[in-house]
Structures are given as structure tokens and as C-alpha cells.
Amino acid sequence: MKVSEIGQFPLINKISQLIDDCKDNSVSWQNTIEAAGDDCAVWLGEDVKYFGKVDCQVESVHFNLDVISWQDLGRKALAVNLSDIASMGGLPRYAMVSLGLPLDTEVDDVMSLYGGILELAKETGTAVVGGNISRSLVIFIDISLIGAAGNPAGNYLSRSSAKAGDLIAVTGSLGSAAAGLRLLTGRDQTENTQYDSLMQAFLRPEPRLKEGILLEKMGVKAAIDISDGLLADLDHICSASKAGAKVYLKELPVLPALRNAFPENYYEMALAGGEDYQLLFTAPEPIINKVIENCDYPVSVIGEITEQSEERIQLFDESGRIIKTDKLGWDHLKSR
Amino acid sequence: MKVSEIGQFPLINKISQLIDDCKDNSVSWQNTIEAAGDDCAVWLGEDVKYFGKVDCQVESVHFNLDVISWQDLGRKALAVNLSDIASMGGLPRYAMVSLGLPLDTEVDDVMSLYGGILELAKETGTAVVGGNISRSLVIFIDISLIGAAGNPAGNYLSRSSAKAGDLIAVTGSLGSAAAGLRLLTGRDQTENTQYDSLMQAFLRPEPRLKEGILLEKMGVKAAIDISDGLLADLDHICSASKAGAKVYLKELPVLPALRNAFPENYYEMALAGGEDYQLLFTAPEPIINKVIENCDYPVSVIGEITEQSEERIQLFDESGRIIKTDKLGWDHLKSR
């Protein structure tokens, strides 16, 4: 059945039933007074710092249904927002989901999309309290998310707190999602289970929420999530912190599968591929060591913060020579 | 200059400057810690009930730039959300603006759009704290809005509180926006200043925020904003409140201009036109009288709430006869 056959309100009712099944004892749901069913969602405010973020996935710009399933698309649309909450050291609370759907969209596909959103919402303690459905020529999934500071005193991770002398570190590995997308688009390697980790990195990114909370607890002040690509996001930190950075190519964490699949250009993917949704953070060495000691998830030191200089980021190759790079990630508005 | 020539970050910088100029001493801006510039917006939470709402305007579904200017489009995209906060008896606090823009969109038009959003934000004490810009084949403006209960004890207006015996009332007049759209689309009457009020009702709807606060203060419990059309929205109240309703055609408030412009079908527009963004509310007679006494803006009693019955809404014509109606507003997903 298509959304044009079922109509707006019955479709919303079906979605509301899915959401009802997700309610649990998380702080978010406990504080929720109304989720859908009235003009607004209603929740009990807390005397904390709140974080707000909105991010949108647009068909044929951010995703292509040849490559990603509706379920994974739903998960990912929420994951990219959760990743921003993670990079502040926050706990997710409330999500509102605004969908744009062509009239011939299958109702079952909308249910799968919501299934993916709600699956990750449940895993992360997020209450999906509201939403909207609009007719549209292209599919879009716009999710706004409200989080609360993980630190009761309200401290949080910011882009502007990096200091000269800080080490630069990242969680997990880089470039996998960009490689996964290329494999999925090329289609020649999708059956190769050796590359599953790369494709999964693109299809099902895991927001580093636990790690964000841990970083803040260990005393880290500066962090960002890597969505535009390592260099672009490090540039955001340098710009906001009025600092420079040195990055050592040989320290970049990349999966063996990435090196195997793209021996020629895996560095490029790790530096500028984007969509890693890992955390990039800076702190003095003792704090970084404490993080590494206490974190269950891999953390790699990749460089250091310097005083502000003309060339904001200096990149060193294996033999210690500076290499030029002008590929600072991806500007999805600018014509190429 | 087009957005594809300026690129994402310079465009965001230009918007940030506009927003900076809007910061004032409103509660919202006083509580705002970060607006744009980091991964998330950050604000100080309050120990109140919060309202959350998201609504989207999609090109050629909700608007057409032949008919509405970029500036008015921005105002309206925010107004439709504010109207939902009004219908809860809430005060707007924080807005996040997610835009979908084709690459050939003029930067000046984006600035006008934001100009319209920020104009109404300033008038209503709303802080625009975050946003997102995506490339898209069609223009969309998705705004998520967070409000706080106007009543310090947390009472608010809901759809589900109507009781048999309540009178039904509306603010302002009905059908004007639907008529305005028809005039603007037809283009034959747009020069006729007699119809300005109708066209303005469509182009620049005014969210009834003050009236929402007043209603709650006077003891009203049930309200909704009229976006889908009077009958459809009254049906939402009846359904949520498990009640029925009687509506008297001759009591419907319509502007003389509407009767003049559409003598044949002005009733239809008032009943099912949609986009009125007036408040529809119910309460016992003494409370309604208190509202009428204290409200600077017109309020009309149009019917009464009854016990639940098979035919949820009974509509009476001038001579007191029941008339059939199957046009319960507009389902924008369903094929016509």
C-alpha cells in the first residue's frame, strides 16, 4: 500500500503504535508527558544544560536507496544527530522526525524507516516525541534532537577549547565509511565479506555517545565529531580555538580492509572521506593517556595542537616531510 | 550570487551574522549559551514543561514562489510552528531551521528567507539557535521549535479536554487564508485592495500567542490551532476528547471581503479551507464569556460540545437544518 492510499492520519496512527511499543523507563520517556497526539509534544524540563541539533538526509544527495535499506536509513538519520550530541559529551533526550515523502512511497517502507529510527532510539535512551510528514518530490528525513549535558555541573566539550601543546586523538578508525560507500556504489566488491566492516561503517555508523561522556569525565575540553572529514573537522577546531595543528599520516588509524581495498588512496579517504562519525578531540598528554586507559573503544593519537600559523594544518608523511593538501573535506553545496 | 558559488560555510557565516543582530534580552536569548558555531546549540534548561513541534514547508506542496516572497515564506514557516505553541498556551523559546536548497538558489533570497524568520522570531521572543543547510532538488524549510508552558504550574491547553456542554469558540475569522490563496493563484484580483486582508491572511498569518496564554489563564482547557480547516481540527478535538459537536453555520466569523469575493462558496472555505492559524477552543459558558471580555482580539462562539455520537460533528444551516458534509479539511498525502 502506498502513502497516497492510506492518507496522512492513518499513517501517523501506524507510526504512533510503533512508537508506543518503544516506551521504556529511560529518563527521556519518564519525563515525556505527550508524544504525538496533541499540537506539540510535551516534556518536563530539567535544570540542566540542553543541546539542540538538527540534521537532514536528502535522497540522491546524502543517500540512495540502491545502496542503503530503509531500516538502515532510519538508523543513520538518527545516528548523525546523536553523533553531534556525543561530541558535546551529552546524553540524548528527545527526537522529532520530519519526513518528506513522495506519494508513491510504500507504507511498509515508511514503517521500516521508523523501525530503524526507533531501534537506535531505544539503544540510546532517546524518546521520539514528535514529527511531521509532508508530501515531497524527493525523500528527506530531517531529525531534530535535544540532549542534556552528561556532566551534572554542565561542563561540555566544545570546538573552541583546544590549546597549543594538546595532543590530537580520534576514536575508532578513519576512512572506512568513505571506502564503504565507494564499494557499495561500485557494486563489484559488495559480495566480498572481507570488506563488510567498511560497508557497515557507511550503512550503520555508531554514534560514540559513551566515549563522549567518558572524554568529558576524564577532563577533555575540546571535541568535534568527524562528519565532513578529518581535515575539515580539525580545521573547525583550529578555527574556533585560534590554533594550528600537526598531523602525522603514519599515525592515522585505518582498518587493514581499507588498505587492502584501496591501496592507492586510503590516506585520502582517512583524511577527507567524511561520514566517519568518530570523535576528534584534543587534550594535554596526561588526560589523553587517562582516556586511552579507561576507554573500551580504540583511541589513537594522530598529532598535536600548535600555535596559530598561516597554514592551519601541517600534514607530515612517513618520512617526516610536509605534504600539501587542499582537499579539506566536502562542501556539499559548492559546485564541483 | 548563487549558493553553489558561495559554498556552505561562508553561507552559514552570513546567516550567523544576521542572527547575531537579533539577539536581545528575551528569556530565550538570555538562556542561550551557544547558537551555531559548535556541534550543537546549547541553552540553560528550566524547570518547566516544554513543548516541542516540527513543521515543514515544501516547495510546490505548501508554497509557490510565484505567490509568496522569500521574506514572507520565512515568516510563515516559523508562524505555523508558533501557532502550535500558541494552541498549548505556551511561550516560544528556541527554533532550529533546517533548509533544503537547490544549488542555483540566490544567496540574497536565502538572506531574505532568514530575514523573515528572524523578524517574526524577534517579535515573539524566539531564539534561532541552530540550523542546517542541505542541497536538495526542491526547496524545503523545516523548523523545529521548543516552547515553555506559559503557566508556571505547568497547566496547558490540550485537544483532549473538551467536555459535553462546553461552548466552542474561535479567534479571528475563518476562510480568509484559503480565499487569499485562491485570489493569489488566480491572479485576476490581486490588484484589488478590497481583498488585501484575505491575501495577507495567507501570506502573513499571525500566530495567536497572546491569546493562547490568555485562554489558559482564563481557565480554558481544550484548544487546537486551525491548520487543516475548522471541521478537521474540531474533529481532532472531538476524537481526542471522545465527544461530539454542533456547529452553526450562521455563527462562523467571516470577513465581508470573503463573502464579496466568493459569495458562492465562502462557507466551504470557512469550514474546510485550512491555514487559518486561528485558535479553536472549548470551555463552559462563564469561562468563554471571561475570555471575550478580556481578549483584545475578536472571539466568536460557533457551537457546542455534545456527548459522543455516531456523526461526530453536526452542522446546522441558517434555518436550523442539519447539512451533510464530507469535506473534513485537507489530507495532503492522499491522492485526489
- Residue of chain B whose alpha carbon sits nearest to that of A331: B8
Which pLDDT score, from 0 to 100, does residue B289 have? 98
Per-residue pLDDT for A258 more than 80?
A: yes
* Calculated CA dihedral for residues A15, A70, A211, A87, nearest 10 degrees: -80
Q: Which element (helix H / strand E) includes B120?
A: helix B107-124
Buried-exposed string B129-165: b where 16+ CB fall within 10 A, e elsewhere: bbbbbbbbbbbbbbbbbbbbbbbeeeebbbbbbbeee
Residue B213: pLDDT above 70? Answer: yes
From edge to edge, which strands make up the β-sheet containing B90-101? A32-34, A41-44, B49-58, B140-149, B90-101, B127-135
What is the bridge-based pairing of β-strands A127-135 and A90-101?
parallel
Position B136 confidence tier, pLDDT thresholds 50, 70, 90: very high
Quote the DSSP letter at residue B278: -
- Asked whether the beta carbons of residue B84 and residue A39 sit closer than 8 angstroms, the reply is yes
For residues A231-247, give the mean pLDDT: 95
Question: What is the total residue count of chain B?
Answer: 336
Quick one: cell of A322? Answer: 610536509
pLDDT digits (tens, 9 = 90+) for A164-190: 999 999 999 999 999 999 999 886 666
Strand partners, A303: A168, A247
Residues of B in contact with A147 (CB under 8 A): 40
The predicted pLDDT at position B326 comes to: 61
At residue A264, the pLDDT reads 87
Lowest mean pLDDT among A98-102, A125-129, B310-314: B310-314
Of A332 and A138, the one with more pLDDT: A138
Residues 9-38 of B with CB under 8 A from A: 9, 11, 33-34, 37-38
A53, A158, A333 ranked by CB distance to B4: nearest: A333
ipTM beyond cut 0.95: no
A100: nearest CB among B55, B58, B85: B58
Rounded-to-integer distance, Cα B99 and Cα B8, Å: 12
**DSSP code of A296?**
S
A52 touches chain B (CB under 8 A): yes
Min Cα–Cα distance to chain B from A263, Å? 31
Residue B112 near residue A70 (C-beta atoms within 8 A): no
Longest CA–CA span in chain A (Å) reads 64
Interface of B with A in 193-252 (CB under 8 A): 224-225, 240
CA gyration radius, chain A: 21
Any CB–CB contact under 8 A between B53 and chain A?
yes
Sequence-distant (≥ 6) Cβ neighbours of residue A140 within 8 angstroms: A56, A57, A58, A59, A99, A100, B100, B134, B136, B140
B40/A51 Cβ within 8 A: yes
Maximum CA pair distance of chain B?
A: 64
- Rounded distance between C-alpha atoms, residue B45 and residue A294, angstroms: 30
Convert the pLDDT of each residue in A12-25 to its tens digit.
999 999 999 999 99
Q: Which residues of A292-301 are buried (b: 16+ CB within 10 A; e: fewer)?
A: eeebeeebbb
Indicate if the pLDDT at residue A309 is higher than 90.
no
Q: Record the cell numbers describing residue B331, joined without a space.
A: 489530507
State residue B270's pLDDT score: 95
- Please say if the pLDDT value at position A113 is more than 60: yes
Segment B30-74, tens digit of pLDDT: 999 999 878 999 999 999 999 999 999 999 999 999 999 999 999
CA nearest to A201, candidates A131, A258, A150, A163:
A258
Predicted confidence band at A329 (pLDDT cuts at 50, 70, 90)? very low
Gap between the terminal Cα atoms of chain B: 39
Q: Count CB neighbours of A6 within 10 A.
A: 18
Q: What is the pLDDT averaged over residues A190-212?
A: 92
Q: How confident is the model at residue A234 (pLDDT cuts 50, 70, 90)?
A: very high
Q: Report pLDDT for B327.
A: 46
Whether the CB of A45 is below 8 Å from some CB of chain B: the reply is: yes
User: Residues B156-168: pLDDT tens digits?
Assistant: 999 999 999 999 9
- Share above pLDDT 90 across residues of chain B, in percent, rounded to a whole number: 86
The predicted model gives A264-291 an average pLDDT of 95
Q: What percent of chain A has pLDDT over 70?
A: 95
- DSSP states along A24-89: -SSHHHHHEEE-SSSSSEEEE--SSEEEEEEEEEEBTTTB-TTTS-HHHHHHHHHHHHHHHHHTTT
Inform me whether the C-beta atom of residue B85 falls under 8 Å from chain A C-beta atoms. Answer: yes
Do the beta carbons of residue A247 and residue A315 sit within 8 Å? yes
A44–B49 C-beta distance less than 8 A: yes
End-to-end Cα, chain A, rounded Å: 39
Chain B CB within 8 Å of residue A146 CB: yes
* pLDDT mean across residues, chain A: 93
* Stretch B143-152: mean pLDDT: 95
Res. B329 pLDDT band, cuts 50 70 90: very low
Which positions in chain A touch B3 (Cβ < 8 Å)? 333
DSSP 8-state assignment for residue B63:
B
Query: What's the pLDDT score for residue B309?
Result: 85
pTM, two decimals, is 0.94
C-alpha dihedral over B327, B332, B333, B336, to 10 degrees? 50
Compute the average pLDDT of residues A112-138: 96
Question: How much is the pLDDT for B336?
Answer: 40
Distance, in Å, from the CA atom of A249 to the CA atom of A97, rounded to the nearest integer, reads 39
- From the CA of A32, how many Å to the nearest CA of chain B? 10
Average pLDDT in the A246-263 region?
A: 95
pLDDT at A8: 85
**What is d(CA B22, CA B16) in angstroms, rounded to the nearest whole number?**
10
Min distance B157 CA to chain A CA atoms (Å): 9
What residues are paired with B42 via a beta bridge? A51, B34
Q: Quote the crossing angle between the two packed helices B107-124 and B70-86, to the nearest 10°.
A: 30
Of A9, A129, A132, the CB nearest to B55: A132
Q: Cβ of A53 and B41 within 8 Å?
A: yes
Pairing of strands A32-34, A41-44: antiparallel
Q: What is the DSSP letter of B310?
A: S
Please name the residues between 261 and 320 in chain A that touch chain B, using a CB distance below 8 Å: none
Contact B140 A134 (CB under 8 A): yes
**Min CA distance, B118 vs chain A (Å)?**
18
User: Do B39 and A224 lie within an 8 Å CB cutoff?
Assistant: yes
Q: Is pLDDT of A333 > 70?
A: no
List pLDDT tens digits, range A37-79: 789 999 999 999 999 999 999 999 999 999 999 999 999 999 9
Q: What does the mean pLDDT of chain B come to?
A: 93
